[in-house]
Chain A
């Protein structure tokens, strides 16, 4: 057994190459158009921002530290860029430079707190995790989103060099090369390693430990700020919620790449492989038509198996070393039994890994061949694939839309793909749509989290011959053929305002419980609520807008505090689906009959509160019908039954609906009250 550490793969990074090879093999079979050059470049684009974070994090983790604030720094950098460009009127490149220097300053603050005040990195960056994101929200009030950036800047995130290579590729290649040289080819890089193994030892060996530590955090801050800029360029808008949740994926990529979380060990190429393993898994499963939670689940499993394997192998190696030393002194029998054990552990671990991938592979293959068999048995007609993306998958509103979509897909005999981000995240929604383009589905129906962000990918889909409609929330009108319109933002806002004012008796204060302060939809509704109140109900005055972060529990505690802290509030408008039942439970527990409650949610979630009189009314359209109609519309556009200029459209059990221009109208928002809610089940 060789004692010399492998030069390129000192921490078993070659295992990841095996995983990558296995993933490629499996997804080439199961995914549509997985092994194509354009998908390869798409993966680069997907990996760019997380990659920058992971590359910046590698030196940090190698010193035994951690930086949880990288995702928050992306948000801050995005907001600084947008603010400096739009409000201060700086040129976009100057604004970008300013954002990068804020990133460096943020990293310096980490380094300073860690070295001077001796606060552990985990705690420092847990604090700045809130602080940076909070500053980004405070600077924009959460709701401002900067758009309309110059084309030269947008090209950084959406452009192609030579028509095929994404602009991000050279950028991340340069960053990778510089950090790689720093980490593996300079004295400073050796010092990083030494600090990670033993900070005190390094100090006695003459390393300026504090200076080294500050420098790695500055690098991490710079990389996060750059990732924020690329993020803005990719989705075309700068908002405070950029990069939410990216830190965990980046950390997972680094540790998967063999960097020891306790410091000392790790290579940058390892982080790259780790990152590719995770991104390939995500991309391949999407192209195989699996929902994104399967990718999340598998990422967790791969992380566990890889680290367990790595630990077992490292331990086996150590045993082997001990055995060799003993072998020099005592009879060889001992070492024989030791090296047997090494091999056994190694083989066992490898077998587990191979087995896991094999099972995954055959499962997909089986499912696919069964589906293929069914297809072959049916008459030789093409079964259309219609892909719907909601704004957020776990939102009960969209859960009930999906029931209708499933119903329509069964009636029409089409394959329905349903996938969206966990929370209303425009960047992830773009990634999902991008994968569908590569997969070449027949029609895409999108409920846009951000019109600017989604339109760029929808136009790309149209250019590749995929039919595009939007539903629930529209994109730019040249990015789709039809919009399945349940109600305009203005209609929702006005209805809510009228309803709220009616309940309050046209006089008094009102409070709003929104999803999160950065939620584009809710912010649009709030705008129209305020406009309508000011125009038609001058007696009504807005007391406050509180976010519940899309969580019922927070909606309840916020509502309890609001009814006490704002005694003048006569009516509360809770405008997200978990928020309304949360607010209702708060009024019930507080026993506040004099505060009226209305808002937007699904009847099922609110039924008991409406019947008990805690919610006076729920404003909503029939979400089940909305999902149903969307699938019918996408199907009709795909096979040519619905063309521009049609004035009527027949959609299954909904009968004939009118088409106004490029909008298919579902009908007016409906107001559910105690009298009629019993008749609705969705």
Chain B
């Protein structure tokens, strides 16, 4: 796997940004802080893997912020109903996949452009959960909900290992298996993919189902760090995830990009806030800086050389 230009640019940006805390308060590179950063960005990484696949097939899913909250509520309600934790996981992932399948059906069968279909789903799911809960949190969950009952000391490394393994195997499968390559094929050219024997609508549906299931996994990684469920969580999550994926170099026209770039995109966007906290920068600036970095990252490789020009 040869690193592309975007990956090199991003790696350079991460190193440059990573040098800054050396001039600030010590402690950024302590094991605890790095573990916190990894754990806090794990949900984003998992969702970004799904988003990479969706964008690879030249679609987009902006419903995942609401989907995230719905999956959290499903996890909370099933746990409260007395389901054992493995069943809670199954139910949550199934709910995520089912809602992803709805998106997929809307896009492929009803031929609604994905940005519109998922925009509608974003509104429907978010308002539905407000209607259902009235904004109240889900409380009085069983004791083994937080950290799956493992206790924090055991759970944190387990989460990192599970999340890491999920991401690595996903990235590997996307790159090296024929099932993974079919997403690239369909994203490059539906007609060509069809001629060589793929079923493009089926592949697009698979991408949305995967997105839904991975959003559910992300929700589990996020919500099980707490003893209660905040039902208004996940607002704006979709745009952060899309930003990480496109900064990571996956082309929104489909067919180009991959999980390595996405990983670098998540690292870059995930570390900005903490780096500036350690530099004691006024938080009022953080959003502007983040926007500037997104723009710089996406224009840098086209600005330097025009080898990858499309249109």
Binding site for B on A (CB under 8 A): 66, 113, 117-120, 122-124, 126-135, 137-138, 140-142, 199-200, 248, 251-252, 255, 260-262, 291, 293-297, 299-301, 303-304, 307-308, 311-312, 315, 393-396, 398-399, 402, 422-423, 517, 544-547, 549-553, 556-558, 560-562, 564-567, 578, 581, 585, 589-590, 604-605, 608
Given contacts A300-B120, A589-B152, contact A561 B273 (CB under 8 A): yes
Distance in Å from the Cβ of A655 to the closest Cβ of chain B? Answer: 28
Given contacts A127-B295, A261-B115, A301-B120, contact A557 B36 (CB under 8 A): yes
Interface size class of B (residues with CB under 8 A): 35 or more
Given contacts A142-B284, A307-B112, A551-B230, contact A296 B134 (CB under 8 A): no
Q: Sort A-B residue pairs by CB-CB distance and give the 3 closest, nearest first.
A: A134-B288, A131-B291, A130-B291
Say which residue of B32, B122, B298 sits within 8 Å of A248 (CB atoms).
B122
Interface mask (B270-311 → A, CB under 8 Å = 1, otherwise 0) = 000110011010111111111110110011001100100111
Evaluate contact between A120 and B124: CB separation under 8 angstroms: no
Closest to B232 in A: A394
Given contacts A120-B253, A399-B134, contact A564 B230 (CB under 8 A): no
Kindly state the separation between the CA atoms of A507 and B310 in the bound complex, as whole angstroms.
Answer: 60
Evaluate contact between B277 and A562: CB separation under 8 angstroms: yes
Chain B residues near A248 (CB-CB < 8 A): 119, 122-123
Evaluate contact between A123 and B36: CB separation under 8 angstroms: no
Closest to A260 in B: B113
Kindly state the separation between the CA atoms of A581 and B137 in the bound complex, as whole angstroms.
Answer: 12
Evaluate contact between A294 and B298: CB separation under 8 angstroms: no
Kindly state the separation between the CA atoms of A65 and B162 in the bound complex, as whole angstroms.
Answer: 39
Evaluate contact between B302 and A117: CB separation under 8 angstroms: yes
Kindly state the separation between the CA atoms of A545 and B283 in the bound complex, as whole angstroms.
Answer: 8
Distance in Å from the Cβ of B305 to the closest Cβ of chain A? Answer: 12
Chain A residues near B232 (CB-CB < 8 A): 394, 422, 550-551, 578
Given contacts A127-B291, A301-B120, contact A396 B136 (CB under 8 A): yes
Which among B11-19, B22-30, B194-202 touches the partner chain? B22-30
Name 7 extra pairs, CB < 8 A, besides A134-B285, A135-B288, A578-B230.
A117-B302, A120-B251, A130-B291, A134-B289, A137-B288, A138-B288, A398-B135
Evaluate contact between A120 and B252: CB separation under 8 angstroms: yes
Kindly state the separation between the CA atoms of A562 and B27 in the bound complex, as whole angstroms.
Answer: 11
Closest to A560 in B: B36
Chain A residues near B117 (CB-CB < 8 A): 304, 307
Most chain A beta-carbon neighbours within 10 Å: one of B32, B274, B283: B283
Say which residue of B228, B231, B233 sits within 8 Å of A605 (CB atoms).
B228
A-B contacts, 5 of them at CB < 8 A, read A120-B251, A122-B246, A131-B291, A303-B119, A553-B222
Evaluate contact between B116 and A307: CB separation under 8 angstroms: yes
Q: Which label, helix, strand, loop or mixed, suits the secondary structure of the A interface?
A: helix
Given contacts A304-B120, A308-B110, A565-B27, contact A546 B291 (CB under 8 A): no
Kindly state the separation between the CA atoms of A133 and B284 in the bound complex, as whole angstroms.
Answer: 10
Distance in Å from the Cβ of B55 to the closest Cβ of chain A? Answer: 10
Evaluate contact between A118 and B287: CB separation under 8 angstroms: no
Closest to B130 in A: A293
Evaluate contact between B135 and A262: CB separation under 8 angstroms: no
Distance in Å from the Cβ of A416 to the closest Cβ of chain B? Answer: 13
Most chain A beta-carbon neighbours within 10 Å: one of B106, B232, B235, B302: B232
Evaluate contact between A296 and B127: CB separation under 8 angstroms: yes
Kindly state the separation between the CA atoms of A564 and B119 in the bound complex, as whole angstroms.
Answer: 39
Evaluate contact between B302 and A297: CB separation under 8 angstroms: no
Evaluate contact between A262 and B113: CB separation under 8 angstroms: yes
Interface mask (B230-251 → A, CB under 8 Å = 1, otherwise 0) = 1111011001001100100001
Chain A residues near B252 (CB-CB < 8 A): 120, 122-123
Say which residue of B135, B152, B302 sits within 8 Å of A396 (CB atoms).
B135
Q: Is B128 an interface residue (CB 8 A)?
A: yes
Closest to B131 in A: A293
Chain A residues near B128 (CB-CB < 8 A): 293, 297
Say which residue of A252, A293, A294, A565 sits within 8 Å of B280 (CB atoms).
A565
Say which residue of B119, B242, B309 sits within 8 Å of A126 (CB atoms).
B242
Evaluate contact between B283 and A547: CB separation under 8 angstroms: yes
Distance in Å from the Cβ of B76 to the closest Cβ of chain A? Answer: 13
Distance in Å from the Cβ of A256 to the closest Cβ of chain B? Answer: 9
